[in-house]
Structure 1
Amino acid sequence: MRFEGLLSQWDDAKGYGFITPRDGAPKLFVHIKAFALQQERPRQGMALSFEVGHDAQGKKRALKVRPFSTKAQAPKPVAARRSANHLWLVPVFAAFYLACHIAWGLRPGVWGLYMALSMATFIVYFGDKRAAARNQWRVAENTLHLLALAGGWPGALLAQHLLRHKSAKPGFRRVFWFTVVANWLLFVLICSPWLRAWWERG
């Protein structure tokens, strides 16, 4: 008997993953050798049909796996699509920064700090994504939020889109967007001449 499901997890480097059956049954382990000959590599979200077998230890696993419909593949998570839609914030912030630089005479090091923090944040996201795939020690979510708040949010946004990491967790994303708004406010507060004028009056 053949069943249908989605490839909910896949590690292409190691050649294995897990299928989530459509009937609500527990996830099944699947190895690359279980796939029928095909041109494209397995990828997460692929709709599959398969048979259920057992390995040497008697555990269930998927066998004779093949795509059953390219049109039936699961759509990208809504949060992932939104992360792509929000990438426009990066060039918008760059233009906003340039306008502030012209109006307020900001030091060049401020932009360099944003670039460095964004690069560092992207690397941390990449490391956490890799650790999650290997069941290793993970980076605390508070650390990711602090990096975004400090100015690394453009790198975090890019990592969420390119790496598909932390892009489908509503609770995490709510806090993330709070850090983005807070960083913009802190940027205006610290870099604008208003704070200096207020400080001199005080």
Structure 2
Amino acid sequence: MVEEGILAEWRDEQGFGFVEVSGKRYFLHISAVKRLGAGRPRQGDRIVFQPGTDAQGRPRALAATIDRGPAKASPRRIARGASNGSRFDFFDLLMLILLPVAAIVALRTGQPLFAIAYALFSAIAVVLYWHDKHRAVNGGRRVPESTLQIVALLGGWPGAWIAQHLLRHKSRKASFRAVFVASALLNVAGLAWLSGQV
């Protein structure tokens, strides 16, 4: 038997949510969603799934697919899509300003060590973001957010920012992004101070 319901709640960072069918809610994990070529689930999506239960007997959606056919979207969903449609925002504007500033300050030092450090920590950041995204999708142990922020503070913020957009990971959570921007600002301020000491 196959059911069809609406994804009433979706927590993308944790990779799970709840499908509602006639008042009944089914737990849905990202690992149960087949064919993610259409993109990750979004709140308001129509979900076709095989109903089942977990080890405690609670309703769970299995073998789920996202149906984004031509069905008319509700006004609530249209409003939500308008508010989340663009991924470029104030945080990204700050990053675009910081990138050339950091490059100019690093070049003024005349020390290649700074450029090497930025490249190294940026590469580490990309790997960590990829690993965390992979674990989020497959339900494994996540990379602590503090680790991601420390790598950004040490100079990996350019790579982390690129990874956020390429992987669509950690690019919506406002509290995380605020700390991330603060880490990048502190890093550039520290670089500017060091350039005056060299």
Q: TM-score category by the smaller chain?
A: 0.5 to 0.7
Alignment of 1:171-186 (within 5 A): 171-186=175-190
* Residues 2, 51 of structure 1: 8 Å contact kept: yes
- C-alpha displacement of 1:51: 7.0
Q: Structure 2: where are the runs of 5+ without partners?
A: none
- C-alpha displacement of 1:89: 4.9
Q: Deviations over 1:142-199 (max 9, x none)?
A: 111110000001111112222222223233222212111110110100112xx35xxx
1:157–1:188 distance in 2 versus 1, CA, 3 Å: same
- Read off the aligned partner of 2:168 and give its amino acid letter: R
Q: CA RMSD in A?
A: 4.1
Larger RCO (CA under 8 A, 6+ residues apart): 2
Partner of 2:157: 153
Between Structure 1 and Structure 2, whose CA radius of gyration is higher? 1
Using the alignment, how far apart are the partners of 1:160 and 1:8 within structure 2? 19
TM-score, L = length of structure 2: 0.66
Using the alignment, how far apart are the partners of 1:175 and 1:24 within structure 2? 38
* Residues 79, 167 of structure 1: 8 Å contact kept: no
Alignment of 1:126-165 (within 5 A): 126-165=130-169
1:61–1:128 distance in 2 versus 1, CA, 3 Å: closer
Using the alignment, how far apart are the partners of 1:143 and 1:79 within structure 2? 29
Structure 1 range deviating more: 142-151 or 56-65: 56-65
Partner of 1:99: 104
Using the alignment, how far apart are the partners of 2:85 and 2:157 within structure 1? 16
Partner of 2:61: 61
TM-score, L = length of structure 1: 0.65
* Residues 9, 19 of structure 1: 8 Å contact kept: no
| Identity within the alignment, % | 22
- Read off the aligned partner of 2:6 and give its amino acid letter: E
1:183–1:78 distance in 2 versus 1, CA, 3 Å: farther
Would you say how many aligned residue pairs link Structure 1 and Structure 2?
Answer: 180
* Residues 78, 168 of structure 1: 8 Å contact kept: no
1:4–1:152 distance in 2 versus 1, CA, 3 Å: same
- C-alpha displacement of 1:126: 0.7
For 1:114, which of 99, 115, 118 is the aligned residue? 118
Alignment of 1:25-36 (within 5 A): 26-29=25-28, 32=34
Using the alignment, how far apart are the partners of 1:139 and 1:98 within structure 2? 28
Using the alignment, how far apart are the partners of 1:79 and 1:65 within structure 2? 18
For 1:170, which of 153, 161, 174 is the aligned residue? 174
* Residues 77, 168 of structure 1: 8 Å contact kept: no
Partner of 2:20: 21
